[in-house]
Amino acid sequence: MSYNALMYKSLALLLPLLGLSVAVADRLWRTPGLVWNWLALLLVVCGLAAVVMGWRARKSERKQKWYSLRPGIIAFCAILLLAGWYVARVPAPMGEGPAGPGVAQAAFARTWSERPIMLLSIGDSVSTGYGAPKGQGYFELIRENADDTYPEMAGLDLSHVLPNIRVVRQAGNSTNSTEHLSTIMALPNYPAETFGIVCVTTGGIDLIHYYGKAEPREGAMYGATMEQAEPWIENFRKRLREMMTALAEKFPGGCAVMLAAIYEPTDGVGDVENAGPMFWLPAWPEGKVIHGAYNQALRDCAAEFPFVHLVDVHGVMLGHGIHCRDRTNEFYDADDPTYWFFINLEDPNRRGYDAIRRVFLNEITNALRGEPGFDVPPASGP
């Protein structure tokens, strides 16, 4: 083999090994307790050693026997195994078709109310629809279904049953609960004849930011211990009460607040450090319990205020996170073992938004069925 050919072959093996070695080093730094990462390091060392051995053998011009173990083959096999390690936790595809629970057609058989309705979004990127095609976030779909994409949901939206509905979007990407409280406080007071349907997704950014890349603090607590988080959790409870009290004042004619529980992408396991090659998040040992405390605060808020209704977004997304193909997971969905999160991990994908839209619609239907002045048919029909 010529010198140039040897150089090209060595570089073809060396470059992917070096790239994968960076990934291995990063994983080891973030999650040193996982044995698979140490085995990946061993593969990197074997691969690099094989490249060096092959280079030295060729330079010495010693003729290899036909049965000799070829260093290039060793290096290539190491690259293949490392590539398998790198993508081992890539989630399943998103899948096709309807996602989430059914929505009763009978409930949308007639007009619910002629009152002026304000459909208002407050919250983070889940409410802006980040990660979904245009017009296919949950908030857009509850207002008006995308009939071309979801023909089975045609007519099952608020615009068909509330003809005097008006939409105001106040959600913003990467906003936390402190900012959501400020947004609510800045709202105008609506006329007494207007009824508010307020969709709120709050608290998720408080938990995920700044991805372990900065010291935990209130509003961006990723990596915090429970001891650190306890006062922040209590403050979150207080903010929720302030939000709901303010919304009641902003809508003297009444409102129904749809308060979303916070999903999490590990299907109840809590191993966010294993969330595939795209994310590289550090382990958060107490993240699961802190996440649970935030959701408990949301549940308690819904129980405290009669006009607040908890939307179980957390429950509908379980079984469709990074362990969606794990048959041993307690939330495994054998009928639809697909992944409903966007590539950034913290937002849903298109089918995830479809599922969230359905639980929002069902909760809105149930809530307005008990409101004076609304004529919502029963789910089973007249």
Give, as one character, the DSSP assignment of residue 151: G
Nearest-10 crossing angle of helices 3-30, 71-87: 30
79 token code pair:
């690259």
- CA 169 to CA 124: how far, in whole Å? 11
**Tokens 């990462």 found at:** 37
Q: How many CB atoms lie within 10 A of CB 54?
A: 21
Strand partners, 165: 117
- CA 273 to CA 279: how far, in whole Å? 8
95 token code pair:
């899948």
Alpha-carbon torsion, ordered 261, 262, 264, 270, to 10 deg? -90
Per-residue model confidence (pLDDT) at position 61? 55
- CA 140 to CA 146: how far, in whole Å? 9
Helix boundaries (H) for 213-343: 226-250, 287-304, 313-317
- CA 56 to CA 318: how far, in whole Å? 53
Contact 122, 341 (CB under 8 A): no
- CA 281 to CA 283: how far, in whole Å? 7
Strand partners, 256: 197
Per-residue model confidence (pLDDT) at position 67? 37
Q: Is the peptide bond before 210 cis (omega within 30 degrees of 0)?
A: yes
Per-residue model confidence (pLDDT) at position 2? 52
- CA 172 to CA 128: how far, in whole Å? 6
Per-residue model confidence (pLDDT) at position 281? 87
* pLDDT in 10s for each residue of the chain, 382 residues: 455 555 666 777 788 888 888 888 877 776 676 677 788 888 888 888 888 777 666 655 555 544 345 777 888 888 888 888 777 667 889 999 999 999 999 999 999 999 999 999 999 999 999 999 999 999 999 999 999 999 999 999 999 999 999 999 999 999 999 999 999 999 999 999 999 999 999 999 999 999 988 999 999 999 999 999 999 999 999 999 999 999 999 999 999 999 999 999 999 999 998 887 767 788 899 999 999 999 999 999 999 999 999 999 999 999 999 999 899 999 999 999 999 999 889 999 999 999 999 999 999 999 999 899 999 999 875 5
Q: What is the pTM of this model?
A: 0.86
Helix boundaries (H) for the chain: 3-30, 35-60, 71-87, 125-128, 138-143, 158-161, 177-185, 204-208, 226-250, 287-304, 313-317, 350-369
- CA 294 to CA 116: how far, in whole Å? 34
- CA 346 to CA 129: how far, in whole Å? 12
Instruction: Characterize the bridge pairing of strands 308-311 and 117-123.
Output: unpaired
Report the length, in residues, of the chain: 382
Per-residue model confidence (pLDDT) at position 190? 97
